[in-house]
Amino acid sequence: MKDIIEIIKTRRSIRNYKEDPVPDEEIKFLIDCARYAPSGMNMQPWSFLVIKNKEVIQKLSENGKKAMIPLAEQMVDDPRKAPGFISFLKTKGTSLFYNAPLLVIILGNKKSLTADWDCAMAAQNMMLAAHSIGIGSCWIGFAMPALMDEKILKELGAPSGYKAVAPLIFGYPRGETAMLIRNEPEVKWLR
């Protein structure tokens, strides 16, 4: 276990993984850390879908890429600006989840006003806890267009009344990932 500040400052989004599976005990540890996150009125409006099955992850990746194409084309007004991304989405076999051995989708209870923020808090706990034990992670927001499809979510086994909030991949990092530049934020002080 490393110091919390060191963990916060050295976590990176990992996009290259070893094939080694994340043991169930470690997954339980990450979910245990998630449930200590703060939540509005302590509602804890989260539920966790743990997906270790490679075929299921790859099928969701294909559905996710298909659902992302129109959005990506809208986001990128000039296709010459991000040719790699659009062609990545259009190529069969490329993985939206970077071939990570584990996908955890944090679901939020639709009845809760604060579910999105609560689940994001839980996600950060999981990603920091993972980093503290040598497990890499990355939030895959590009999976959201597919996960907003009720049929896909139901097929994955999501309980009714829940929506996908945070699709997170985990696994053992292959190689090093350099720190990205952090901007100086605008800070206004009133004294």
Ligand X SMILES: Cc1cc2nc3c(=O)[nH]c(=O)nc-3n(C[C@H](O)[C@H](O)[C@H](O)COP(=O)(O)O)c2cc1C
Q: Interface residues with ligand X (CB under 6 A)?
A: 12-13, 15, 138-142, 180
> What phi, psi does 175 have (nearest 5°)?
75, -175
**Closest residue to ligand X in the complex (CB):** 141
Q: Write down the least CB distance from residue 25 to ligand X, Å.
A: 25
Q: Where are the alpha helices (DSSP H) in the chain?
A: 4-10, 24-34, 54-75, 83-90, 115-132, 144-147, 150-155
169 within 8 A of 102, measured Cβ to Cβ: yes
Q: Write down the least CB distance from residue 72 to ligand X, Å.
A: 11
Closer to ligand X by Cβ: residue 23 or 143: 143
Q: Write down the least CB distance from residue 125 to ligand X, Å.
A: 14
Closer to ligand X by Cβ: residue 178 or 190: 178
Closer to ligand X by Cβ: residue 106 or 140: 140
d(C-alpha 162, C-alpha 51), whole Å:
17
d(C-alpha 24, C-alpha 27), whole Å:
5
d(C-alpha 23, C-alpha 26), whole Å:
5
Q: Write down the least CB distance from residue 166 to ligand X, Å.
A: 7
Closer to ligand X by Cβ: residue 41 or 69: 69
